[in-house]
Homo-oligomer: A and B are copies of this chain.
Amino acid sequence: MSDLTPPVVILDRSQLADNIGSVARVMANFGLSELRLVSPRDGWPQDRAWATASGADWVLEGVKVFDTVAEAVADLNTVFATTARPRETRQPVRTPRESARVLYDDTASGLKTGLLFGGERAGLETTDIALCSGITTIPIDPKHHSLNLAQAVAINAYEWRTLILDAPPPRFREQDPPASNDLLVGMYEHLETELEAGGFFFPPEKKRSMTQNLRVMLGRSAFSEQEVATFRGVIHALAKGRGRLLAKMAAKKDE
């Protein structure tokens, strides 16, 4: 048995308090304890969650509530979004077993990890998925793919626990650890602001998908804190140069 900190579970816009309670119960079953809620539909706390948690009260009492997924994952280094395999994606897609192994190795390296789940009907927004380090897809029969939220958490939590009980030697990262998510988002926003100023997002209605593709593309390389700083330096340097160029061009016009 290991004393690693298990992954944080993040539920985005969950609708039913019963489901939040069931998630808490199954987290406790498999030794997970930190639960975060993003904009739960009916607010928080909700008595019905305690009714279905079947005694896993410590999980519910420790719940933290956030307005956005970005805030909820800000302090985490590795977050996997559990969702159906997207038609097209440039993010790594893993089974729950493969994901558990990465989470285990990252946790053993001292990183903070998380598992993100979408609401009962809506699922996850692609912009929120783009904030994650990868996608976890449960091997559901396409004939009946509506999986209950607590079941999705159960499968992932079970894989985590099975892995730590089997206790393989952790594979430590040889590279620097990935930066926390808030640093990454800061970097993305810096880049996007400068690109916007440079007229990169054209036509404007494509901005959203262009932004997302960029985030996913850069996200795959799992920048370390140092690399985030370096890349922000790159953005700054490029933008400044462009500023000078624009100034020069403006000056020429005036001549």
Q: Which residue of B lies closest to A144 (CB)?
A: B28
Task: Tell me which residues across on chain B come within 8 A of A29, comparing CB atoms.
Answer: 140-141, 144-147, 151
Given A26-B148, A146-B55, A151-B151: A158 in contact with B138 (beta carbons within 8 A): yes
A94 within 8 A of B: no
Task: Tell me which residues across on chain B come within 8 A of A17, comparing CB atoms.
Answer: none
Give the distance to chain B from A99, nearest Cβ to Cβ, in Å: 13
**A151 to B144 CA separation, bound complex (whole angstroms):** 17
> Could you tell me if B146 and A25 are in contact, using CB atoms closer than 8 angstroms?
yes
A129 within 8 A of B: no
Interface centre among A25, A140, A158 (most CB of B within 10 A): A158
**A165 to B55 CA separation, bound complex (whole angstroms):** 36
Q: Which residue of B lies closest to A145 (CB)?
A: B29
Mark A155-197 against chain B: 1 for CB-CB distance below 8 A, else 0: 1001001100100000000000000000000000000000000
Q: Which residue of B lies closest to A147 (CB)?
A: B29
Given A95-B162, A154-B155, A162-B95: A22 in contact with B139 (beta carbons within 8 A): no
A: residues with CB less than 8 A from B are 22, 25-26, 28-31, 54-56, 95, 97, 138-141, 143-148, 150-151, 154-155, 158, 161-162, 165
